[in-house]
Amino acid sequence: MRTLDGRPMSWQAATTPVGSALRISPAFVATWSDAESGVETTLEARYSEDAGRYLVTSVTNRVTREGVEVNNIALRQIPIQPIVQSAAPQCIALTLDDEDDPTATWMTVSELSSTEGRILPHWLAEDVVKRGTKDARMEAIEILYGSAALAGRPPVKAVQLELGVPHRTASDWIKKARAEGRLNGMTYIVGRQANG
């Protein structure tokens, strides 16, 4: 994962505010290599405010071993959307501190989720569900929705899985967060194909 100018992706590259608590990198370059097919794919994606997610703007393929050809059969097997889905969490930054505090600790969603394999720590998810204040719950919904929607994943499902709540509850909390303006700049289009 790199920025467009070739630097490694980090939370410092997340300069575009989205919603009320997230910052994202305006664009990224991701490379994926498939040893079995012998094809390496590099794609560039840019955040589109109108679409509310990252859009792939270019794809480059090259062979990684002799005897392999980039042809229509090979191109059909390149997982464009899964590449974006795995790359996007590295481009979304947030802080669990007061974001106006100059000493706030910022991190990417990828760094946050790598600690427990989740986006929110288990203890925080439980607390938000059981006795979370309205603001804490809405902040959690914004983080989960944004992380999923910007990567092209179903946000309601992400909220359900992370917080362990039914679909109806997840949908209700998302509607409330959107009504409060917390999800501005993030959209998920139901029915979009998961395989790109």
Mean pLDDT over all residues of the chain? 86
Same domain, 25 and 65: yes
Same domain, 171 and 128: yes
The span from the CA of 194 to the CA of 85, in Å, is 9
Final residue in a domain of this structure, among 62, 90, 118: 90
Final residue in a domain of this structure, among 90, 109, 130: 90
Same domain, 111 and 168: yes
Strand partners, 8: 2
Of 167 and 189, more confident: 167
- 70 in a structural domain: yes
- 48 in a structural domain: yes
pLDDT tier at 30, thresholds 50, 70, 90: very high
Beta carbons of 110 and 89 less than 8 angstroms apart:
yes
- 161 in a structural domain: yes
Q: Please name the helix (run of DSSP H) or strand (run of DSSP E) that holds residue 17, with its range, or none.
A: strand 16-18
Same domain, 110 and 78: no
Same domain, 117 and 141: yes
User: What long-range pairs does 4-9 form, CB within 8 A, spacing at least 24?
Assistant: 4/28, 4/29, 4/44, 9/90, 9/91, 9/108
Q: How many domains does the chain have?
A: 2
* Least confident range of 8-12, 18-22, 74-78, 109-113: 109-113
Same domain, 77 and 153: no
Same domain, 75 and 117: no
Residue numbers of the domain that contains 126: 95-179
Query: What pLDDT does 155 receive?
Result: 92
pLDDT tops 90 at residue 46: yes
Write out the two tokens for 16: 């575009």
Same domain, 15 and 81: yes
Query: What pLDDT does 117 receive?
Result: 62
Write out the two tokens for 83: 């590449």
Same domain, 84 and 105: no
- 6 in a structural domain: no
- 2 in a structural domain: no
Same domain, 82 and 100: no
- 136 in a structural domain: yes
- 187 in a structural domain: no
Q: What is the DSSP string of 22-88?
A: EEE-SEEEEEEEETTTTEEEEEEEEEETTTTEEEEEEEEEEESSTT----HHHHHT--HHHHHHHHG
- 196 in a structural domain: no
pLDDT tens, 111-147?
876 655 677 878 778 888 987 678 889 988 998 998 8
Same domain, 133 and 157: yes
